[in-house]
Amino acid sequence: MKLNKNHPLYQEDLQNILSLEGLNNIQGKTFLITGATGMIGVMLIDALMALGNVKVIAVGRNREKAKSRLGEYFENDNFEFLVQDVCLPFPNNLDVDFIIPAASNTHPLAYSKYPIETILINVKGAENALELASKCNATVVYTSTNEIYGNAIANEVFTEDYNGKLNLSNARSCYNESKRTAESLCQSYIVEKNVHVKIARLCRIFGPTMLESDSKASSQFIKKAINNEDIVLKSEGNQYFSYTYVADAVIGLLQVLLHGEIGVAYNVSSEKTNIHLKDFAQLCADYNHKKVIFDLPSAEERKGYSIAMKAILSNERIKGIGFKPMYSMQDAICRTCKILCNE
């Protein structure tokens, strides 16, 4: 499995991102992006570098991993890779215009094995990004998550003012609750230090920039599909979730950056890609004419799984600032598989 950035479909995704109205307003600006080698980070950086006349400071802990994901930019004057633990303060000499803190553990095995690290990356990572923003008068677009809503109490669609239930007696809440805390920290920096912060609540993201180590169900399905294997579903698959193709997610993130209001949260989701988990699995199986097999997860895996059965996000607010999701679920899955298979 290897991301081919020269694939015509990947290049088309980048052009779709670059068709966003208002991108000329960020030319000549400097971005600092944490989580640079992650699913969102890679496609966002590829789009910004393709735009041109934008400086990108990509932040990560491992230079070799960064070279494997973003190596084509290491000799580019508009790109800099900063080896940095986001739990530590940033160097004082940084001067940036936009900060996008996208570093986080974002898959179930990480939640179950490293709950303390998960909390610290989210909370300390947000604090250090906000501190840097306060020093250099930068705008922060905080990447939050649908998981801050907890579990639906009834059959609700999650609007941005919804508050669901979280089980704080379970270490799995390390991700949800630390993202809630980080959002509260964002609002506090707005009030106390006049930092400009906008919040993008991303839902379940999938696409060709996924990491091989990603243990999310959607990523497992896609890996099976491109390896020409049957899809293994570790539940009955009745969960009904909002998913977003990574290019739509990057478009939404930039839409919030360009047109969102300070202190306001926006759900980044698409009604075109709301789907039951078993149907997601079936679409992946159909790609290579394989079957869906139901199998129970291991005890270690189960610890990291969300117990939510429904998480559908309203996108009315972000549509109000011009967001128009582009991809259907079938198209997005096919694009992902073709890019990773180099077909």
| From 175, 243, 305, 327, active-site residue | 175
**Mean pLDDT across the stretch 61-87?**
95
CATH number of 8-207+244-270+314-320: 3.40.50.720
Cα of 276 vs its chain's centroid, Å? 20
pTM: predicted TM-score of the whole model, two decimal places: 0.93
Please tell me the predicted confidence (pLDDT) of residue 163.
79
- 326 — pLDDT class (breaks 50, 70, 90): very high
Check if the beta carbon of residue 148 is closer than 8 Å to that of residue 179.
yes
Check if the beta carbon of residue 269 is closer than 8 Å to that of residue 245.
no
Assign residue 263 a region (left: φ > 0; alpha: ψ between -120 and 50; beta: otherwise). Answer: left
**Mean pLDDT across the stretch 196-200?**
98
The whole-angstrom separation of Cα 268 and Cα 323 is 9
Please tell me the predicted confidence (pLDDT) of residue 169.
67
pLDDT tens digits, one per residue of 268-291: 999 999 999 999 999 999 998 999
Please tell me the predicted confidence (pLDDT) of residue 216.
85
| Single-letter code of the amino acid located at 307 | I
- 301 — pLDDT class (breaks 50, 70, 90): low
175 belongs to the catalytic site: yes
pLDDT tens digits, one per residue of 31-57: 999 999 999 999 999 999 999 999 999
Please tell me the predicted confidence (pLDDT) of residue 192.
97
Q: What residue segments make up the domains of the chain, in order of their start?
A: 8-207+244-270+314-320
pLDDT tens digits, one per residue of 172-191: 778 888 999 999 999 999 99
Place of tokens 């990491």: 211
Please tell me the predicted confidence (pLDDT) of residue 234.
78
Check if the beta carbon of residue 221 is closer than 8 Å to that of residue 262.
no
Cα distance between the two ends of the chain: 12
Please tell me the predicted confidence (pLDDT) of residue 65.
93
- Compute the mean pLDDT over every residue in the chain, rounded to the nearest whole number: 92
Check if the beta carbon of residue 92 is closer than 8 Å to that of residue 67.
no
pLDDT at 258 over 90: yes
The whole-angstrom separation of Cα 178 and Cα 189 is 16
Check if the beta carbon of residue 122 is closer than 8 Å to that of residue 130.
no
Please tell me the predicted confidence (pLDDT) of residue 213.
82
If you write DSSP's letter for every residue of 238-294 in order, what string do you get?
Answer: --EEEEEEHHHHHHHHHHHHHHPPTT-EEEE--GGGEEEHHHHHHHHHHHTT--EEE
pLDDT at 108 over 80: no
